[in-house]
Amino acid sequence: MPALSPLAPERFPELPAIDGLRLATAQAGVKYRDRTDVMLAVLDPGATVAGVFTRSATRSAAVLDCQAKIGGDSDAGAAILVNSGNSNAFTGRAGEASVARICAAVARACDVPEDRVFTSSTGVIGERLPDDRITAAIDGLVGGLAPGGIDAAARAIMTTDTFPKGAVRSVEIGGETVTIAGIAKGSGMIAPDMATMLVYIFTDASIQRALLQDMLGDLTDRSFNAITVDSDTSTSDTLLMAATNKGSAVHDRHGPFEDALGDLMLDLAHQVVRDGEGATKFIQIDVSGAESDADARKVASAIANSPLVKTAIAGEDPNWGRIVMAVGKSGAAANRDTLRITFGDIEVARDGWVSPDYTEARGAEYMKRDEITIGVDLGLGDGADTMWTCDLTHAYITINADYRS
């Protein structure tokens, strides 16, 4: 069990019950002993479900199954079952059969159609999922279903996470308050063994599936797709969101509900970075002045994924030359003589060279902080983007080189 991340939030937030949602957790013994490893969420009839999934070409059986089901509109109830300890990825036809057996058992026990049962699995890859242990736990789970308990669900889905991740937001709509509550797991972006990113968000707001799906897609680009720990992409990444449709209705894009949802997703995404394997620094990368937003993302991504930038920050070394290097390799249009680099409020480089006022001592002092903001202005246009990452430390090597052997 790794030590608590030094970047962990002080406490888990109070997550209220969501009208139309019941939850339960259980110890199914998939792999771990003496801890919960399965969560079940059951949604009353009338709920809306939308989702965003990994783009990996080797995605897991559970992801493929969710993707096949997610487009359907239905007034029936729905259920989400998640296990930790085994990802059921790259387990061939046997993996598909496991998903089918779990979905059938959940559908029967919860009285929802099979095509409204969504599952996720996270943990070791390539090992047969002991689905019998999960199906054996379902009756107990259904018996324990209750409103609230989202915090327990956040704990049941953890693998190498050092803290449970949750966030909540409230929005006034038409004189009434609706609530959005979410949980996430993940400590690599995204280690396939034990650090798949899973996100579940619930709201009592009323919203149609197509509208919710559109929001999720755009907001994911600016939250979960804007973070990286190690540039690796999981076979199992899943974000599922359910609206129970018990409260006020959301009819349009870009209103206060979407703002609150985006804020909550960013909060959860930042928590994943703060639990990045071996992380000691939380790093924000602000890119502006690019020829396009896509170019700005290329630059931000090149910096956020550069082992040399991330090891320099781990060593509290204000090695801005490595940022110049990352800009150069990104593939985006860049011009040495218009490039400006900042650390927080400190101007480091401009006009193609180090800034006249910059001193190594000021940079070194800044690098001692837990939270680092790197600014890159390309000086070419209006394209902008922000990404978040963590440093690359000895602990990352220890966790990933020594994990199974």
Q: Please check whether residue 20 is in contact with residue 43, taking contact to mean a CB–CB distance below 8 angstroms.
A: yes
For the CA atoms of 65, 68, 69, 73, the dihedral, rounded to the nearest 10 degrees, stands at 170
Position among 94, 146, 210, 294 found at the interface with a second copy (CB under 8 A)? 94
Q: How far is the CB of 311 from a second copy (least distance, A)?
A: 4
Q: Which is nearer to a second copy, 202 or 358 (CB)?
A: 358
Using the rule CB under 8 A, is 144 a contact of a second copy?
no
Q: How far is the CB of 325 from a second copy (least distance, A)?
A: 4
- Interface positions, 29-88, toward a second copy (CB under 8 A): 54, 56-59
What angle do helix axes 293-305 and 321-329 make, rounded to 10 degrees? 130
Using the rule CB under 8 A, is 177 a contact of a second copy?
no
Q: Which is nearer to a second copy, 73 or 402 (CB)?
A: 402
Kindly list the strands in the beta sheet with 78-86, ordered across the sheet, starting from the edge strand earlier in the chain.
21-26, 38-43, 78-86, 117-124
Q: Which segments within 291-403 are labelled E, that is strand?
A: 340-343, 346-350, 353-354, 371-377, 383-390
Return the SS3 of 58.
Answer: coil
Is 398 labeled as ligand-binding? no
Active site residue 196: yes
Q: Which is nearer to a second copy, 244 or 330 (CB)?
A: 330
Position among 1, 93, 174, 345 found at the interface with a second copy (CB under 8 A)? 93
- Interface positions, 357-376, toward a second copy (CB under 8 A): 364
Q: Which is nearer to a second copy, 388 or 396 (CB)?
A: 396
Q: How far is the CB of 125 from a second copy (least distance, A)?
A: 3
Name the one range near a second copy by CB under 8 A: 157-165, 247-255, 261-269, 301-309.
Answer: 301-309
Q: Please check whether residue 121 is in contact with residue 129, taking contact to mean a CB–CB distance below 8 angstroms.
A: yes
Using the rule CB under 8 A, is 6 a contact of a second copy?
no
Is 405 labeled as ligand-binding? yes
- Which of these, 346, 326, 322, lies nearest to 334 by C-alpha position? 326
What angle do helix axes 92-110 and 61-70 make, rounded to 10 degrees? 50
Non-local (6+) Cβ contacts of 335 within 8 A are 378, 379, 380
Q: Which is nearer to a second copy, 2 or 148 (CB)?
A: 2
Is 220 labeled as ligand-binding? no
Place of tokens 């910096």: 303
Active-site residue among 196, 203, 220, 228? 196
Task: Kindly state the helix (H) or strand (E) to which residue 171 belongs, with its residue range.
Answer: strand 165-173
What would the two tokens of residue 24 be?
């339960």
Region for residue 379 given its phi and psi (left: phi exceeds 0; alpha: psi -120 to 50; beta: otherwise): left
Is 231 labeled as ligand-binding? no
Greatest extent of the chain over all pairs of C-alpha atoms, in Å: 71
Using the rule CB under 8 A, is 260 a contact of a second copy?
no
- Dist CA 277 CA 70 (whole Å): 31
- Interface positions, 221-250, toward a second copy (CB under 8 A): 230-235
Per-residue binder mask for a second copy (CB under 8 A), 386-405, x = binder: ------xxx-xxx-xxxxxx
Is 233 labeled as ligand-binding? no
- Dist CA 117 CA 66 (whole Å): 8
- Interface positions, 116-135, toward a second copy (CB under 8 A): 124-126
| DSSP 8-state code for residue 254 | T
Name the one range near a second copy by CB under 8 A: 131-139, 156-164, 166-174, 312-320.
Answer: 312-320
Q: Which is nearer to a second copy, 204 or 230 (CB)?
A: 230
Binding residues for substrate: 159, 185, 196, 277, 400, 405
Instruction: Give catalytic residue positions.
Output: 196
